[in-house]
Amino acid sequence: MEDAAVISRSYEALGFHVDPHALHREFKRGDGDLTAWLETDLRPYAADLVKRPKVRSLATHSLRTLAPDSGSEVRKLIDKLPGRVERTVESLRAAFTEERIRGPLLIKPVLRSQVVEKFTFSAEGTRALRQQASPAIPIDPVSECLAALADWQKTPLVDTRGYFAHQTQFIDAKDENGSTVRLQDGSFHPIFPGRTRYVGDLVAREFDARLLAIRGDLRWFSSRMNQLSVELRADVLVMQAYEDVSSLNQLIDAIRADVLLHEEFPLRDACCVLTQAYAALSPNPDLSWLPLDESVLATGGLLRTHVRSNRNSVLDHLKQAVKRTQRLYADENKDAENLDDLIGRYRVVLRRNPFDAWVDGKSLRTLIESESTGRIPFTQGEEQLLKELITSASGGSEVLARKLYGAIPVSASTLPTRCKRLREKFPLIGALLESRTQQCQLKVDPEEVRVV
């Protein structure tokens, strides 16, 4: 596999230029050179990279920490958001419905109309109806902003189904003829400044966009409260609203500091980009280590369409991801030199070559050799299973039977039997091992696992 720096230089050597009259980038030497770069340079690099435990851990970080019931520290903060939003909405409503506060701000209704494009779904197929605009009606901006804020209490802020592509949500309704009408729910659209992102940690980015949308709704009220006189700012209702808005903003800041603004996020983002590239460009990608449903994994090939259309953002992010992941190789070499330090810092450590594993600072090889002189510490099957278990645990995923045996037919009891024998021989691993008919895993925090 070529070095990341070589791959970056070969991308620059494509020799493309930007046509100011074209929507997309054009290539001096044709699309064939881009295809060659993707197939011969990027694909092998991405395929090798996603096998590495550290990359898998980074690429699945948002899936493991932001999802409901993850139990992570940042998820605990996210779970506080609905209640904090509700409290803020109530205090703002109490303040801004008071005429003595509302009056000096000269808040007047605004005229607004809504355009809805309707589609009908039936056995004969999908049929688009005409766009329909509602008459312009006066809207109270206070009620409008409060309603927008309140909606965030009901909106799932994190959608892990959008790992490979943004999810469009729809609402089913009935038209005047009783036919099913599917309306697109705009509140789920990613709200990105500038151009839309097609690759990267889309789960974290879409979540962050929604946090910023909440902050945008708060900003309307904050700017109005700043316009109040000194006397009214000291009003009990206004002071309570100020306090709740400030508290909600602080919570949003704390969450963003651990997600999109975290110092490690650019590397997480790069690992997601290369995982998406691997899923799109490899003929038979192994994505079983991603904690996602099959329906979501099936969307992994969407990147190919975006790349083939020469989208500038996709190509630039692919190159940038290659450049950012160069440090991972240096980090792994450094880890190998500091094995003793790693054994003391991590609960489970795997050394691939020569093979050994440590649990709570104790070497499995040393324990077996001390019990019986001349006994082989690990059979080939035990070594294979331990490697898969610890490597998968570092990425927060389980080991599937089909990954161990491929197309080889085995009985339903094969994997449970192997796990039972592993527990008996290695009690330290056995205390962490959970197994079912078709899968097994180590129940340990991925952040406590290291592979070198």
Distance, in Å, from the CA atom of 255 to the CA atom of 262, rounded to the nearest integer, reads 10
**For position 193, what pLDDT does the model report?**
39
What does the radius of gyration of the chain's CA atoms come to, in whole angstroms?
Answer: 27
Torsion, CA 237, CA 89, CA 72, CA 62, rounded to 10:
-130
Distances from the Cα of 442 to the Cαs of 66, 88, 385, 417, 428, in angstroms? 21, 42, 11, 16, 11
Element (H, E) at 174: strand 170-174
More confident residue, 429 or 396: 429
What is the distance between the alpha carbons of residues 52 and 404, in angstroms, rounded to a whole number? 17
- Enter the pTM of the model: 0.64
CB-based burial label for 17 (10 Å; 0-12, 13-18, 19+): exposed
Q: According to the model, what pLDDT value does residue 175 have?
A: 44
Q: Which amino acid does the sequence have at 337?
A: E
> What are 135-181's pLDDT values in tens digits?
666 667 787 778 888 887 777 889 888 888 766 554 444 444 555 54
What is the identity of the amino acid at 55? V
pLDDT in tens, 226-249: 888 788 888 899 899 999 999 999
What percentage of the chain carries pLDDT values higher than 90? 18
If DSSP codes are grouped into helix, strand and coil, which group holds residue 259?
coil
* Closest C-alpha to 364, from 443, 214, 354, 250: 354
Q: Residue 213 is which amino acid?
A: A
**Type of residue found at 356:** D
Spacing of C-alpha 149 from chain mean position: 24
Task: Give domain limits for the chain.
Answer: 4-64+264-326, 73-258, 338-451
Nearest Cα residue to 434 out of 384, 391, 398: 398
Place 111 in a pLDDT band, splitting at 50, 70 and 90.
Answer: low
Does 429 or 190 have the greater pLDDT score?
A: 429
Beta bridge partners of 173: 181
The torsion angles phi and psi of 264, rounded to 5 degrees, stand at -90, -10
On the question of pLDDT at 262 being above 60, the answer is yes
Residue with the bigger pLDDT between 14 and 125: it is 14
- Give the separation between CA 53 and CA 101, rounded to whole angstroms: 57
